């Protein structure tokens, strides 16, 4: 049976034809790209991709299938998938089904046969933007109208939809008890906390500070998540109350929310940082970490209040990658130290968080 045609239309009028993959239908959202060469299952299930059409720059995707163990969420969180070539075959001792079957099972629509690197260059030149992908409606004018009607990512509070609705216990331990404010947390973050010896309880991102304090939590982790941090006002209010009362560790969106709660600002990057090889310079040691990243917004280095120290910078573009607030026992990083997928250069940060909690308790 011949493949069905599909069409991706960007809001600026650029069109990318191809063949339908996954579920037949339509998908829409902000079109972004990821430069990782492997780890597509972890990337596709990362809740930080909610509301986005994901383009892989690596041309060959799907060759090792998918399995039940590598998900960062129960299923895919991308709005849709864009690839140059989707492998018709797969082989790996852990694989259980093809990427095509998995996408269809979860009703995710996608497109293959796209010049994914040309699309990436277009987004680099013109910025990430909304797009509409369809294997049903192939009329360019119709898809362009639909793409232009989509809301801009600026101002979208996607984190509220990506996090859990009720608190739950992820890991029991006799070690420090950590409350994770869930804005779209990856399972790898929770697993790294458990491996570092923490008891881990996950809370909705909008949980009031009083409930966190009453739970007996000894530290608070602000998780990754999708969208613009600026609308997350309930989370900011919670963090403001917790600052100085419990040690805080922020990751990705959690890093941005911490900066906003401290009185800083954030802004949208032209095309974001998404990949598994982003170099970050530690300003104290001068050492470089190779990091996994997935974000479209960034902390503005201007206007950070007194007592907030920039600790790390992106070695490619100089953007803020880390903050520390020693007087209020808080620190954060823009990248993903759990690295699912990616290098493990920064996993020590989970142990550093435990040390911060112990110092706070001994103060």
Among the listed residues 122, 273, 295, 336, the single catalytic one is 336
| Tokens representing residue 76 in the block | 């895919």
Residues 151, 46, 232, 248, Cα dihedral to 10°: -160
Q: Is 60 assigned a catalytic role?
A: no
Among the listed residues 42, 72, 252, 255, the single catalytic one is 252
Q: Is 164 assigned a catalytic role?
A: no
Q: Is 252 assigned a catalytic role?
A: yes
Cβ contact 131:28 at 8 Å: yes
Contacts of 21 (CB under 8 A, 6+ apart): 6, 81, 83, 86, 100, 103, 109, 110, 111, 112
Q: Cα 332–156–312 angle (5° rounding)?
A: 20
Of 85, 87, 123, 84, whose CA–CA distance to 274 is shortest? 123
Cβ contact 289:280 at 8 Å: yes
Contacts of 19 (CB under 8 A, 6+ apart): 3, 4, 5, 6, 111, 112, 113
Among the listed residues 72, 160, 321, 338, the single catalytic one is 338
How many Cβ atoms from other residues are within 10 Å of residue 345's Cβ?
Answer: 18
Rounded Cα distance between 128 and 121, Å, is 11
Phi then psi for 206, rounded to 5 degrees?
A: -95, 10
How many Å separate Cα 295 from the centre of its chain?
A: 6
Cβ contact 48:225 at 8 Å: yes
| Tokens representing residue 230 in the block | 């600026």
Known catalytic residues are 252, 336, 338
């Amino acid at each position: 049976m011949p493949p069905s045609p599909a069409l991706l239309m960007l809001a600026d009028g650029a069109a990318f034809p191809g063949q339908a993959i996954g579920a037949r239908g339509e998908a829409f959202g902000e079109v972004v790209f990821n430069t990782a060469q492997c780890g597509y299952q972890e990337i596709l299930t990362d809740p930080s991709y909610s509301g986005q059409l994901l383009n892989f720059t690596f041309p060959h995707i799907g060759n090792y299938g998918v399995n039940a163990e590598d998900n960062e969420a129960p299923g895919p969180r991308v709005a849709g998938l864009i690839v140059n070539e989707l492998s018709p075959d797969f082989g790996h001792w852990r694989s259980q089904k093809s990427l095509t079957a998995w996408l269809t099972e979860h009703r995710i629509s996608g497109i293959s046969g796209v010049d994914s690197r040309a699309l990436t260059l277009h987004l680099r030149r013109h910025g990430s933007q909304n797009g509409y992908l369809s294997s049903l409606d192939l009329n360019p004018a119709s898809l362009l109208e639909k793409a232009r009607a989509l809301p801009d990512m600026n101002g979208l509070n996607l984190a509220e939809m990506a996090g859990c609705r009720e608190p739950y216990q992820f890991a029991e331990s006799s070690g420090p008890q950590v409350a994770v404010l869930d804005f779209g947390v990856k399972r790898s973050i929770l697993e790294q906390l458990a491996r570092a010896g923490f008891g881990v309880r996950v809370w909705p991102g909008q949980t009031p500070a009083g409930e966190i304090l009453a739970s007996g939590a000894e530290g608070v982790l602000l998780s990754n998540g999708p969208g613009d941090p600026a609308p997350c006002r309930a989370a900011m209010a919670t963090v403001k109350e917790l600052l100085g009362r419990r040690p805080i560790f922020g990751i990705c969106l959690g890093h941005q929310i911490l900066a906003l709660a401290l009185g800083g600002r954030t802004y949208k990057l032209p095309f974001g940082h998404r990949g598994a090889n982003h170099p970050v310079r530690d300003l104290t040691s001068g050492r470089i970490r190779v990091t996994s990243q997935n974000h479209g917004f960034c902390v503005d280095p201007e206007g950070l209040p007194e007592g907030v120290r920039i600790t790390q910078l992106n070695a490619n573009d100089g953007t803020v990658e880390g903050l520390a607030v020693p007087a209020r026992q808080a620190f954060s990083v823009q990248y993903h130290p759990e690295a699912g997928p990616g290098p493990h250069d920064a996993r020590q940060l989970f142990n550093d968080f435990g040390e911060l909690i112990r110092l706070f308790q001994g103060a």
